[in-house]
């Protein structure tokens, strides 16, 4: 069956999942809306099972609520932020049981639906609030693309978002974030730093990380790492990449401070 409509309701499950993943990958290369709508009921059993497991493990739901400073008055971003928080708690749940979570099922039914809402949904950057929202969107996309990559998706390319985030902050100014949201901005820049490795933008991200660290009175790389891990983090995904940034960060910090 050829696909000619803007949905996948008439396609068998496995083929529909594959088409949705390929369609999303193509949209990410251009930061445009995916061609096919993501069915609201796809993977609903998988997602419900995740929430049930977490609820039984975490009676205190504050563990998967958002930090007070991370609340952004935009439904699109708040929904994405909460779903990422749940995804991270799920990886911890699986890791504690020595169970595998990096697989296509987790990618298709949890990570991709979040990305589907963010890609191609850029915020107008006519004012500081727009810049703040757009920077957050780009940082979340970079983070989720990393999860796609380690969950088995081939051909994940993030250069477009690395460049867009740099240009946005370069022209929009780092002062756009409210004081309480500075940890989120630091997290966004550090994610860009990791994804810009071996790219022309890398040194710029190092310098921006140092600038924000000084603004937040963080005097060491370890202090920066501890701060960003309080936002969103998965230890086994990023830790090696973090460590390879230490030496350059410390040398630039020494010069700039």
- Tokens for 254, please give them: 């020494």
Global pTM? 0.86
Q: What are the tens digits of pLDDT across the range 7-58?
A: 544 444 556 778 888 899 899 999 999 998 877 666 676 677 777 777 676 5
Residues 6+ apart with CB under 8 A from 95: 101, 236
198-211 pLDDT, tens digit each? 999 999 999 999 99
* Domain limits, the chain: 13-256
List CB contacts of 133: < 8 A, sequence separation 6 or more.
72, 74, 77, 123
- Mean predicted confidence (pLDDT) in 212-227: 94
**Spatial CB neighbours of 144, under 8 Å, sequence gap ≥ 6:** 84, 111, 114, 115, 118
Is 90 exceeded by the pLDDT of residue 179? no
- Indicate the pLDDT class of residue 86, thresholds 50, 70 and 90: confident
Q: Which is nearest to 220 in space by CA: 198, 245, 187?
A: 245
Tell me if 39 sits within 8 A of 9, measured CB to CB. Answer: yes
pLDDT digits (tens, 9 = 90+) for 61-79: 445 555 544 556 678 888 8
* C-alpha to C-alpha distance for 165 and 188, rounded to whole angstroms: 9
């Amino acid at each position: 069956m050829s696909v000619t409509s803007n949905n996948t309701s008439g396609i068998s499950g496995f083929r529909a999942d594959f088409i949705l993943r390929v369609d999303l990958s193509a949209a990410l290369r251009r930061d445009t809306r995916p061609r096919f709508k993501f069915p609201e009921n796809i993977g609903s059993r998988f997602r419900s099972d995740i929430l049930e497991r977490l609820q039984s493990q975490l009676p205190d739901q504050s563990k998967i609520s958002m930090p007070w400073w991370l609340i952004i008055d935009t439904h699109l971003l708040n929904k994405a932020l909460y779903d990422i928080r749940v995804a991270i708690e799920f990886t911890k749940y699986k890791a504690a049981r020595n169970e595998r979570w990096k697989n296509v099922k987790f990618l298709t039914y949890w990570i991709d639906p979040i990305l589907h809402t963010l890609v191609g949904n850029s915020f107008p950057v006519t004012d500081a609030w727009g810049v703040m929202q757009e920077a957050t969107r780009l940082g979340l996309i970079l983070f989720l693309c990393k999860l796609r990559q380690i969950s088995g998706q081939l051909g994940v390319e993030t250069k477009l978002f690395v460049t867009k985030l740099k240009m946005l902050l370069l022209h929009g100014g780092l002062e756009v974030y409210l004081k309480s949201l500075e940890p989120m901005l630091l997290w966004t820049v550090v994610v860009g730093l990791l994804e810009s490795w071996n790219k022309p933008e890398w040194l710029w991200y190092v310098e921006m990380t140092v600038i924000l660290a000084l603004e937040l009175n963080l005097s060491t790389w370890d202090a920066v790492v501890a701060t960003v891990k309080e936002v969103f983090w998965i230890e086994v995904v990023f830790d090696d990449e973090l460590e390879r940034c230490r030496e350059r960060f410390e040398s630039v910090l020494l010069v700039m401070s």
